[in-house]
Amino acid sequence: MPPRNLLDLDDLSAEELVALLDRAEAFHRDPSPRRALAGIPVVNLFFEPSTRTQTSFAIAEHRLGAEVVTIDPRESSMVKGESIADTAITLSAMGVGTVVVRHGESGFPYALARSFPGHVVNAGDGTHAHPTQALLDVMTLRQEFGRIAGLRVAIVGDVAHSRVARSNILGLRALGAEIVLVGPRTLLPDAMAQEGVRVERDLDEVLPTVNAVMLLRIQRERLDSALVPSVAAYAAQYQLNARRLERLRDGAVVMHPGPYNRGVELTDDVLAFSGCRYVNQVANGVFARMAVLEALCA
Ligand code: CP
């Protein structure tokens, strides 16, 4: 019995996670249109900007035969004060079976799920979770290495404010990877260390020891604040660039959830690097999201 919603990857057992990855791979091998969601209205409700997640959910929904509805919250009755609970009742009354939601507030999809009798898929909530991003990231790593167990993965940058990092930690740990978080204390508290998750400060020392490096976006609003004094100060310690690529072991890959900031957390050399898997991640987003929607809704 699959869970009703996907709010974070800890909604899934390791077996359910592997089943989703296997299904996503099947869609990757054969991306032809399906009818699993035929006649099911699916609403995409994005309160925050998105290119990758919103577009790939829409493609996935169309490819599964769903009736795809996009609501711009700024044009909805929520601006007239209608609550999310009342919006959920209203959408359900129209036969909407699934809502894919992104919101800047951590926990918002959980509140929606309490009022909505259909399925809720979290497309990113505040600094909390981004489960389908983590799923496509794990899928990309498994394609590369044929396994997750035993891999050592560095997650670099603004870990404290990263929903991508949080969900990846859940997914990668569940499947047996070792995680090394790397960043300055202002963006990565020591307290984020836990079983299977180390905290390190020196990226140069970590790079030769890992199979994969996941870079995180440095949010520009954090620059020139107490958290990150300047691009130059951040780059000196944590930017992946041509010199640091040389420190990677053979076969190591570099990933980024996007959108990336050229010249901040990475340079153009990283995007041109043969081990850069950013494009694979984006492509896998469609298949991973097809697998989630099919598992929840079909
Ligand atoms: N990775 C990611 O969530 O990108 P978008 O904000 O463009 O959806």
Give me the pLDDT at residue 54, please: 98
| Domain assignment of residue 156, yes or no | yes
Between the CA of 34 and the centroid of ligand 1 the distance, in Å, is 25
Helix, strand, coil percentages (3-state) for the chain, rounded to 5, are: 45, 20, 35
Give me the pLDDT at residue 41, please: 96
> Any idea what the CATH number is for the domain that residue 208 is in?
3.40.50.1370
pLDDT digits (tens, 9 = 90+) for 73-100: 999 999 999 999 999 999 999 999 999 9
pLDDT digits (tens, 9 = 90+) for 148-202: 999 999 999 999 999 999 999 999 999 999 999 999 999 999 999 999 999 999 9
Give the residue ranges of DSSP H helices in 30-83: 52-63
Q: 184 CB less than 6 Å from ligand 1? A: no
Phi-psi region of 205 (alpha: psi -120 to 50; beta: other; left: phi over 0): alpha
Q: Are residues 46 and 25 in the same domain?
A: yes
Q: Residue 1: is its pLDDT beyond 60? A: no
Q: Residue 226: is its pLDDT beyond 90? A: no
**Predicted structure pTM score:** 0.97
Q: Are 163 and 130 in contact (CB under 8 A)?
A: yes
Q: Are residues 47 and 85 in the same domain?
A: yes
Q: 124 CB less than 6 Å from ligand 1? A: yes
Instruction: Report which secondary-structure segment, H or E, holds 291.
Output: helix 278-297
Q: Whose CA is nearest to atom 6 of ligand 1?
A: 50
| Domain assignment of residue 2, yes or no | no
Q: Are residues 54 and 77 in the same domain?
A: yes
Q: Are residues 224 and 290 in the same domain?
A: no
Give me the pLDDT at residue 2, please: 58
Give me the pLDDT at residue 157, please: 97
Atom of ligand 1 nearest to the CA of 48: 6
Please report which confidence band the pLDDT of residue 207 belongs to, taking 50, 70 and 90 as the band edges. very high
Q: Are residues 120 and 58 in the same domain?
A: yes
Between the CA of 260 and the centroid of ligand 1 the distance, in Å, is 10
Q: Which domain holds residue 187?
A: 131-281
- Rounded to whole angstroms, what are the CA distances from 248 to 64, 192, 232, 242, 281? 39, 24, 22, 11, 20
Between the CA of 162 and the centroid of ligand 1 the distance, in Å, is 12
Give me the pLDDT at residue 223, please: 74
Give me the pLDDT at residue 267, please: 98
| Domain assignment of residue 3, yes or no | no
Between the CA of 218 and the centroid of ligand 1 the distance, in Å, is 14
**Domain count of the fold of the chain:** 2
Q: Are residues 136 and 258 in the same domain?
A: yes
Q: Whose CA is nearest to atom 3 of ligand 1?
A: 53
| Domain assignment of residue 171, yes or no | yes
| Domain assignment of residue 4, yes or no | no
Between the CA of 203 and the centroid of ligand 1 the distance, in Å, is 25
Q: 53 CB less than 6 Å from ligand 1? A: yes
- Rounded to whole angstroms, what are the CA distances from 289 to 42, 59, 143, 270? 13, 9, 16, 27
The whole-chain average pLDDT of the chain stands at: 96
| Pairwise CA distance, residues 280 & 154, whole Å | 18
Atom of ligand 1 nearest to the CA of 53: 8
Pocket test for ligand 1, best of 133, 136, 217, 219 (most atoms within 8 A of CB): 133
For a pLDDT cut of 90, what percent of the chain falls above it?
A: 94
Q: Are residues 231 and 105 in the same domain?
A: no
Q: Are 88 and 32 in contact (CB under 8 A)?
A: no
Q: Are residues 53 and 171 in the same domain?
A: no
| Domain assignment of residue 1, yes or no | no
Q: Are residues 31 and 69 in the same domain?
A: yes
- Output DSSP code: residue 230: -
Q: Are 158 and 217 in contact (CB under 8 A)?
A: yes
Q: Are residues 139 and 257 in the same domain?
A: yes
Q: Are residues 30 and 167 in the same domain?
A: no
pLDDT digits (tens, 9 = 90+) for 8-60: 999 999 999 999 999 999 999 999 999 999 999 999 999 999 999 999 999 99
| Domain assignment of residue 40, yes or no | yes
Between the CA of 151 and the centroid of ligand 1 the distance, in Å, is 25
Q: Residue 274: is its pLDDT beyond 90? A: yes
Q: Are residues 155 and 266 in the same domain?
A: yes
Q: 127 CB less than 6 Å from ligand 1? A: no
Report helix angle 278-297 to 52-63, nearest 10: 50
